[in-house]
Every structure is written in structure tokens, then in C-alpha cells.
Structure 1
Amino acid sequence: MGISARRDSKAFAEYTYVIVKAIQNMKSESDNLQQPSLFPFFTVIFSIALVLISLLSQFWSKAEGQTVKSSIPWNSVNDFTYQLQDINLNTIEKTKFDLVIIDYSRDGSESGRFTAEEIEALKNSANGLKLVLAYVSIGEAEDYRWYWKKSWDVDKNGIPDKGAPSWLGLSNPNWPGNYKVKYWEPEWQAIVFGLPTSYLDKIIEAGFDGVYLDIIDAYEYWGPDGDSGKDRKTAEDEMVDFVVKISEYARSKNSDFGIFPQNGAPLGKHEEYLNAVTGIGQEDIYYGYNSDGEKTLKKITKELEGYLNVFKNAGKLVLTIDYPFSCSENKPCFNKKSKKKINNTYKKSRENGYIPYCTVRNLNYLTINPDNQPD
């Protein structure tokens, strides 16, 4: 598809998104006014709109000679959800979140990979179009992924055995089964992208709109004064280069493919890094930095906001993920104290021009926060 066609297709997606949102808002207003007589009217209008959108999409596809999938523009996102375990696509489809961050697999395994049909259904769910990101850890290897071999750490003591790949490091004591990786080594990068069997290529094949890259801050572990003790002076630049290469490769397949690193916000000082990403996700900015439910120290919040504003001022989306629940890492508890924390988080994040979300640390629950529901 030529540049003009891509531009027209994007405009079509934007118009579609606006139409659907407008109709949803009209129905919501009717609901709020409690006028039962209007319910069937808006239901019929909404159904007709979806049919028209489908027909127009098919016509557009034939006119351009390609399949053009419905989507929404990145800059229209104003809410999101983040869930990596116990994922139920049907449940997520029923929500109104604009952006969804999930694993590429229902249970992390290769056999549990979501199909292109499932992702397409999620993106075009009845409660509103959605952008969908696939989670990828690029700074640690996970022992339940398709690329892992049991022989790398037979006794599971967290220390790679003889014969393990040179890029494999020690396990993360806070997350058993996750191992640090020397992400600058070509063999690890080939697992992440560049081959038909690579992580990113599987994600693109499934139709995800982008990737959510985790353990970006691995450069701190390997770099000067890092916990690895290796004091690798080039660690930061190598992480920047890695993310830039991922972005370039993905966008050679899909020019609008989203790249969202999680944490590692100081890397925004690198112009090439800033240009390579669509946005950034930042954990623990208001709650959870030291402990779940505990307010993050003001000086840390202020420092993080300074880094994040670099992204915001460059026109990038800034997603904030906070953990205000001290009751459990698995299920939120909406008591008076936690609700106050949630409302405080959403207020501060939005005042800064960010997009907030509060959930549990294990990311195994589809959290919909009272008074801050997706629209």
C-alpha cells in the first residue's frame, strides 16, 4: 500500500472510532436519563453503525487491494488495562478500554498462543474498538517460554548449567524462573526478533497492534555500579540500540506498529530512543515503589515525572501503572482506604497528562476501578 493509501486508511479508522464513540455516548446519556423508550432506538442505531462500518471496511479493502483492519489512532487512547495471567478475552471484549496489554499466549506457552482470529475479535469488540499490545520481556529470559531448554538449569538453582547459552545470566531472586540476559548478544536478540520463529514475528503474525517491552531497566543491572558487578559501560547504549532495532524491524512490517517500553524512563534522553517508541509505561510512580499499597516517596515521584515529561512533551503516550492494594497481590480490595489511593492516583496522573491504571502486582486480574471506569 502506498503512502497515500496508508494515510487514507488511517483516516478511515479515525472516523470509524469517532462514530462508534459518539453512538456509545448517546446511549450512555439515554441510560443516565433513564428513558427506557430510547433503549431500542439506540440499540438499532448502534447495530446499523457496526454493519455499515463492516461493509465500508470490506469496500475499502477491495479498493486498495489489501485487507485493512479496523483500529483506532494511538493519540485517541485515554484508558487501558494490563493483565498477563488468567486472561479471558471474552471478558476483556466486554469492557470499554481503548488499549489492552496482554501476553501473546493465554498461559505463556507456545501451545496457548492467541490466534489471529482471537486478536482480531478483541480489537473489534462490540463495546468499542481496541488497540492490543503483546507483552515481551527483552531483559530477562523466562523458563516457561517456547525458547527455554531445561538443560540450561536442570536443578533450578538459578545458576545456568554448563552448556547454557553465553547470553544467559543468573535468575532474578524476586521472580523465580526469570533469568537475566546479556541482551546485547546476537543470539538473544535473534530470539526476540528477526526470524520467522522469533518472539516479535509471532506477535506480528497474530495481528497485535504493538509490543510492551519489559525489563528495559536491565541496563542498570549490567551497567556501572549495577548488581551484576560487571560494570559494563556500554550497557545503557546497548539497550537503546536494542529497542531501536526492534522498532525499525517491526515498523518495516507495519509502519504504525506500537512500541512501548516499561520503566527505564531515563532513556528518554536519547533522541533515537525517543523517536523509536510510541509511548512508555511506568510502574510505581504514585504507589508501590517500595511496597504495594505504600505511597511512593515524593522525591521519587517528582524524579519519575521529570523523566516521563520528556516523553509526553515529545507527543508520546505515557501510561502509569500503580499498585495501591496492600491486601493482596492477586485480587484488588476496594475498601475506603484503597479507593482514596486509586482516586488520588488517577487525579495526579491525569493532571500530568498521563493515562493511569491501578491493579494488583501479579497482573492476574482484570481490574476495573470504581469511579474510574473506562469510557
Structure 2
Amino acid sequence: MSSPARLSAKERLRKARHDTLRRRDATTGLAIVGKAQSAARDSQRAQKKRTRLPQTPSRQSARLIKKLAKSPPAKKPSSTDSTESFESNIDRASDVDYTATPERGQGSRNQKQGSSYHTPEGKLFKTIGRPRPDQLAATFISEDGILRCAGTGQSNENGTVQFCHVADRSISSVEKRQLEMVMGHEPDGLNLDTRLNLIPLCVELHIPMDLGKVILLPTAPWLSKLRTALASKEVKGWTKRRAPRANSEHYLFHEDVFSPDTVVDVRIVPLLKQWSKESGIQYITRNKKGKIIRQLFEPPFTTKKGEPVIPLMKVKCSPFFLAFKANWALTKPNAGKEPKYAKSDVRELKRIGELMRREIDDLKEQMPADNNANQQMSVDNDGAAFFSSS
């Protein structure tokens, strides 16, 4: 330690203060507290003080809270926003039957634009959302960029073409289970909003189809392939190395029977005693020069020899759905009759219907009563009600 003679004036003053503090402490009995101990003591006191006082925001935080309180609530994005539409003439934002589902399920990695809304291969999701109109239009739109009725060629420029569910969304839970079983699904695996169950139809076909006044009948080759798949659990013309997929009831998966991209030939068959004699069907075609050709087909929609006059329509729709809906129209109360030219195909269709319904009695015993059972059967010629439930 330095001697007192060598200490600076500042150090001597500090030493004198320290000696004075020691003497005072000796008389009072208090211990000398250094700088480090003093700092620790002050910090501890400040911490205790903060815990006893209510938490208050800083000035910056208070200004931010006040600003947010005055600002209007954020607008939630709408699932029917006009940006989702392909064109204004197919924008269904105001129609609940054609809006998009807010929450969409997981899709297939192999999806393609417009044609992806079938059940993903190998994955059976019941949560897949309904396709939006613009997405459906990507599949059904014509070469001139206009959505047209698949059956008559009428354009949607007046907003009269609608996406029609073939198998109605209002079917009972028993019928839905029956349909998903014969289509190779497990319980709750069927999605009625699939692209394979939707067809663009003009109003003059959509509503009569919902009411059971007209059926969309697949031609004989498609009916034969469907009957073979249901009866013998085989696929005609199967060439893949793997066996067709099947569910636990051994019914073949419908996309192995009919590929999702298969174009099916379908005949428009107005039923006798159901279709009004005052209503015809307007058919629109165009020649090579683009000139519009209009044809009005009138009841009974046959030539003098009894041959059909309405041309075949080509659709990417599953024959399973088509057969199911046609069977309903032919077996419902006060059902109409098929014309003579369709009797052979209708006989085959009814055999398919029997194969589809052969386990329905067991299903009725297993499943509880459905209050929503087959709503369309309780509708008496109410097109608007039927339109909203299809």
C-alpha cells in the first residue's frame, strides 16, 4: 500500500471520508456498505416496488392501443368474391347453390386445372370443397370461351346455364351410403360435389331433370360395362398389372371402372306422361362459317318412325351417378314412361338399379332414420324448391 506522503490530494480526501465512516459505524454499530452492495440493495428495492404497482403501458404502447381502438375492424375475405369468377356471366356469387366452399380439403398431387375435382386416386376425402364456377368452367367451357349447356348447346351469355348435380345433394343418408358402397367407397367417402357428378345444363333441362321429367340415359355399351362391374366385380377391358381397387364390401372403385377423363355418350330422354306437350327443347349448333342454327325439338321428340331426334350429348360424368338418378326418376311415385326407342336400354338400366339397391334394406336397419330423406319426392312440381335442393 502507498505511504500517506505519496498519496494524491484526491486519494487522501477519499481515505479521510472512509475513516470518518468507519468511526461513525463503530459508534452506531452499523456495517460499512460498499458500492456493489449498495447497488444490489437498490435494485432489490426497485423490483419490490414494481411488483406492488399495477402494470402500465409505455407512452408508445398507449398511443398504439388508442389508434387501433379507433380503426374499423378488418374486413374478412369473402369466399364468393368476384375475383374467383372466370367471367361475369358465370359468376354465381349471389346464388348459394353455386358458391365455393370456404374450407377446402386436401387434394391429389396429380390434380389438373379443371379436371381435378374427382375423388383423388387412392385417397378418399369427404372434406373436399365444392368446385367454384370458374374451376368447373375450365373443364366444360367451349372453344369460343363460352360456357354452354352440354345437352343443347345453349350459351350462358344470359346466365341460363347452371351446374346441375346428377345425384341430388338432398338424397337420404341411406341412399348416399348405398351409392358410395356400390361405387367402391368406404363409409363417408363419397363426395356429391365431385366434378363427376356435375353437368352444365340450361334451365329447361336442369329443372325437369330434378323433377324426374327427363332422364340422362347412358348408351348401351356404358350400361353393359356398369352392370358387369356391379354383378361380377370385373372391369371390361382391364389391362393394368394391378387389380382394380375395391372397398370392404368388394365393390370396385368407380374410377377404376370408368376413368375420370372418360367421355360418356348420353341420350336425353323426356319421359312420357311427365314432359309437358307445350314445352320443347331448343338445340343450338353452328356451321363451319359460324352461323347459328336453331332447332326446336317438340314432343314426342321422335320421327314418324319412332326414332329419337335429340342428338346424343357427350359428358365427363360417371355412369354410376347417371344410372342412380335415372333409376330414381323411373321408380318414384307417379313416374313417367320411357319411349319405345329407349325400352331396351331402360331394361338394362333397371337391372343395374336392382344391383345397386339389393342391400338397401339391410342399410335401413343399420342406419338411423333420416329427417332429410329424399326431399325431392315431397316437392310437387315446384321448380324453384327443386332447383335449390339439387
For Structure 1 versus Structure 2, the TM-score category normalised by the shorter chain is under 0.3
TM-score relative to the length of structure 2: 0.22
Give the number of the structure whose alpha-carbon radius of gyration is greater: 2
Q: TM-score, normalised by structure 1?
A: 0.23
- Higher RCO, 1 or 2 (CA under 8 Å, sep at least 6)? 2
